[in-house]
A and B are shown apart, each in its own frame.
Chain A
Amino acid sequence: DVKVTQSSRYLVKRTGEKVFLECVQDMDHENMFWYRQDPGLGLRLIYFSYDVKMKEKGDIPEGYSVSREKKERFSLILESASTNQTSMYLCASSPRGADTQYFGPGTRLTVL
């Protein structure tokens, strides 16, 4: 069965903290994605990766970085969390090519 897991369902952090969000997939997918979802704005792509150690900026990469050292794991890093980064963060993966994405359960991050 397809499985994408995220390290936390809920997270509360303080402004200025460094935040790590982790995503793991067990489907041997090449592509992995990080989105944030905000009311009225839909899903916005932050970063994606199509191979180990490869990364591409999405539509809103500012304030974020990513790491993909192993095929199954894709980490999103908030270098210095700010209140405007309070959001639902969704990780997804897909096999190479035009195919479906499978989403993790999401992490609701609150930055105080």
Chain B
Amino acid sequence: QKEVEQNSGPLSVPEGAIASLNCTYSDRGSQSFFWYRQYSGKSPELIMFIYSNGDKEDGRFTAQLNKASQYVSLLIRDSQPSDSATYLCAVYDATSGTYKYIFGTGTRLKVLA
């Protein structure tokens, strides 16, 4: 069973700090990696995607991918109370020839004002 693991949290950080969210995955054939933000009662919205090893920055968000260690992380700089949400890591499974995405159960982030 291919898996994506996340710490459920909550991860609490003070306003203005860096929040670091981590995700590990089991399938070495995974090609694409996504971070979604989900506010309570709402649907997931895409924040970042990354395909290659290394860092990818978009505003206050940085995604980091290490395929050798099979982990992907999301850094949120200058965290704001509005960043308080559940963050879902998703991995695209290309090995089976289908179009399946595998989601982690999410990490709940709380940014304290």
A contacts, CB < 8 Å to B: 31, 33, 35, 40-43, 45, 48, 50, 56, 58, 90, 94, 96, 98-106
CA distance A110 to B105 in the complex (A): 22
Task: Check B43–A104 contact: CB distance below 8 A.
Answer: yes
Residues of B with C-beta under 8 A to A33:
101
Task: Check B99–A105 contact: CB distance below 8 A.
Answer: no
Query: Of B42, B98, B100, which is within 8 A of A106 by CB?
Result: B42
Query: Of B92, B98, B105, which is within 8 A of A40 by CB?
Result: B105
Task: Check A98–B31 contact: CB distance below 8 A.
Answer: yes
With contact pairs A42-B103, A56-B98 given, residues A100 and B88 touching in the complex (Cβ less than 8 Å): no
| Of B13-21, B44-52, B58-66, the one touching chain A | B44-52
Residue in chain A with minimal CB distance to B48: A100
Residues of A with C-beta under 8 A to B42:
105-106
Q: Closest approach, in angstroms, between the C-beta of A31 and any C-beta of chain B? A: 5
With contact pairs A42-B88, A42-B103, A43-B88 given, residues A103 and B98 touching in the complex (Cβ less than 8 Å): no
Given A42-B106, A43-B103, A100-B49, 17 other A-B contacts at CB below 8 A? A31-B99, A41-B105, A42-B103, A42-B104, A43-B88, A98-B32, A98-B92, A98-B94, A100-B34, A101-B90, A103-B43, A103-B45, A104-B43, A105-B42, A105-B43, A106-B42, A106-B43
Task: Check A90–B88 contact: CB distance below 8 A.
Answer: no
CA distance A103 to B36 in the complex (A): 10
Task: Check B99–A102 contact: CB distance below 8 A.
Answer: no
CA distance A62 to B42 in the complex (A): 25
Residues of B with C-beta under 8 A to A42:
88, 103-106
CA distance A42 to B86 in the complex (A): 11
